[in-house]
Amino acid sequence: LELESALAQALTRREFTLHYQPICRVAGDQPYLVGVEALLRWRFNNQPVAPNEFIPVLEESREIVRVGEWVLREACCQVRRWQLAGQSQLYCAVNLSIRQLQQPGFAALLARVLRETGLPPASLLLEITETLLMQDSELMMGALHEIAALGVRLALDDFGTGYCSLGYLKRYPLHVLKVDRSFIAAAPDDADSVAISRAVIGLGQSLGLAVVAEGVEHPEQVAFLVAEGCQLVQGYWFSRPRPATELQALFDGER
Ligand code: G
Ligand code: G
Ligand code: MN
Ligand code: NA
């Protein structure tokens, strides 16, 4: 409860920041940046609090609706700045809470944020989880279709960790599948992990989705993924999530 009241004031106290983690394509010899995922960070009493601690609290209190709007605006604005500074094809991935989608008029808000920040709709990728899809309500389906109609893309995050039936994958307007890092972690040494990640990559591809592997930490994992036809990777191997100012160095050609 203490956390909850602190979080209610965190926006006005400007205690939130965003870190950005690169997503890159590893087709040729040089990996190149295709997008960044915005990740919320909170410093309370000058200490960083783990997202897994405070995000559930934000969702429980519905404060995530206001904070999520701030995240969206901030991330779109930052990525638009990078686009104008030369990264014209860079896309922006933002995590979306079910609470935000449940708000009537979410698509209208989204359209307004895009208009105000100047970010092209096709440059935005909203990440949702399987739990969200399992609500399977008309409302949710309608909201997702409104979002897709704007030209904004949708990604299914942490795929394989929830209880999503495969039927949902076809039913919803999804564009990207993000393979959960738990499957990548033990690959390519562990035979079961290899089998599962191979199956998930194949599933995504046969449904016509772009497949992103999360939690890629080692070059052996990159080689394995490329061999499996998954060229989009995200993880510590390339870069940790970093503040916007630090990412600038990557754009200037450094690793
Ligand atoms: O950034 P990583 O450290 O720890 O993130 C932990 C979890 O928090 C991830 O599941 C991620 O999807 C989620 N998360 C990070 N930023 C946001 C955000 O802006 N909104 C929502 N809803 N979830 C986020
Ligand atoms: O749930 P979601 O996939 O949005 O969460 C992203 C989370 O994954 C963030 O907390 C981020 O810090 C973390 N993350 C990103 N890359 C790696 C990685 O290579 N290894 C591990 N263990 N975590 C990662
Ligand atoms: Mn995510
Ligand atoms: Na993810």
The domain spans of the chain are: 2-155+162-172+241-251
Which CATH architecture describes the domain 2-155+162-172+241-251?
Answer: Alpha-Beta Barrel (3.20)
Residues paired with residue 126 on neighbouring β-strands, in sequence order: 94, 154
Q: What is the pLDDT of residues 165-204, one digit of tens each?
A: 788 788 889 999 999 999 999 999 999 999 999 999 999 9
From 49, 61, 95, the mutation candidate for ligand 1 (largest count of ligand atoms within 8 A of CB) is 95
SS3 at position 134: coil
| Cβ-contact 159, 178 below 8 angstroms | yes
Check: complex ipTM more than 0.90: yes
Q: What is the pLDDT of residues 115-167, one digit of tens each?
A: 999 999 999 999 999 887 777 688 889 999 999 999 999 999 998 887 777 88
12 lines ligand 1 (CB under 6 A): no
| 10 C-beta neighbours (distance < 10 Å), count | 21
Q: What is the pLDDT of residues 45-62, one digit of tens each?
A: 999 999 999 999 999 999
Residue 237 alpha carbon, nearest atom of ligand 2: 19
Return the higher-pLDDT residue of 37 and 251: 37
Region 6-24 average pLDDT: 97
DSSP state of 4: H
Mean pLDDT of the chain: 94
Q: How much distance in Å is there from the Cα of 51 to the middle of ligand 1?
A: 6
Residue 255's pLDDT is what? 44
Residue 51 alpha carbon, nearest atom of ligand 2: 10
| Ligand 2 binding residues, C-beta < 6 A | 21, 39, 95, 157-158, 181, 214-217, 235-236, 241
| 27 C-beta neighbours (distance < 10 Å), count | 11
Give me 49's structure tokens. 């609090």
- pLDDT band at 211, cuts 50/70/90? very high
Region 236-252 average pLDDT: 92
Measure Cα distances from 198 to 40, 160, 201 in Å: 30, 12, 5
